[in-house]
Amino acid sequence: MKNWKNWKKNLTAAGVLFVVCVGIYMNWMYTKDEQVANLTDKLDSDKLLSEAGLVLDSENVQDVDNPENTLTDYFAAVRLSRQEARDNAVGLLQEAMAYGDSEQAAQSGVQLEQLIQTGLCEAQIESLIIAKGYVDCVAYMSEDGISVAVATPEGGLQQADVAVIADIVMTQTDYSIGQIRVVEVL
């Protein structure tokens, strides 16, 4: 009987690992052709300002007159950074599950499941906010609350916009209104 429980637990962990790996692969496939701006490039002192735009190097020019490009780059870079951090955490948890004792492996399995649920919930919140007509957004969940960075709509972010975003967050999570922070990205 004990053998069956261990087998079942390992099969569940392998299934979760498979789903995470498929998600990572799909993310890689969809974003491999996109050039995502590196956050360190924004702080690089070797940039040159010309009339055409901000020159990062001789081949890569960003159009400073088109704020949509910089917003898209910002949200893509933030999502990539968040995904890389999650991938590292998943790797560490999988390592702990593989090399730890049964109690540690069970705890790591619970943490891995929570990490996956958090990622899915953030993605669902982002999709719903974008479906409401906002250009783009990124959600960050933590134990203390949730922060939602939203691209500034035309006319700026109004109280009605914050109410719509807060309503989406509260229906998808257990956070109260006091735990929700909405940040306007210009």
SS3 169: helix
Angle CA 88–90–93, to nearest 5 = 110
Q: Which position has the token pair 């910089």?
A: 70
Q: Where are the domains of the chain?
A: 2-185
Distance CA 79, CA 101 (A): 34
User: 102-131 and 159-172 are packed helices; what angle lies between their axes, rounded to 10 degrees?
Assistant: 140
More confident residue, 157 or 24: 157
What pLDDT score does 178 carry? 94
**How far is residue 105's CA from residue 49's CA, in Å, rounded to a whole number?**
53
Pick the closest to residue 71 from 152, 164, 169 (CA basis).
152
Q: Provide the residue type at 52 as one letter.
A: A
Strand duo 146-151 + 180-185: pairing: parallel
The third-level CATH classification (topology) of the domain covering 2-185 is Helix Hairpins (1.10.287)
pLDDT in tens, 111-142: 888 988 999 999 999 999 999 999 999 999 99
Residue 129 CA to residue 123 CA, distance in Å, equals 10
pLDDT digits (tens, 9 = 90+) for 68-117: 567 778 888 988 998 998 889 888 888 888 887 888 888 888 888 898 89
- Report the candidate in 170, 57, 38, 61 with the shortest Cα–Cα distance to residue 180: 170
Handedness of CA 100, 106, 108, 113 (dihedral sign): positive
The owner of tokens 């901000």 is 54
Residue 51 has pLDDT above 80, yes or no: no
pTM of the entire structure? 0.60
Given a cut of 80, whether residue 36 has pLDDT beyond it is no
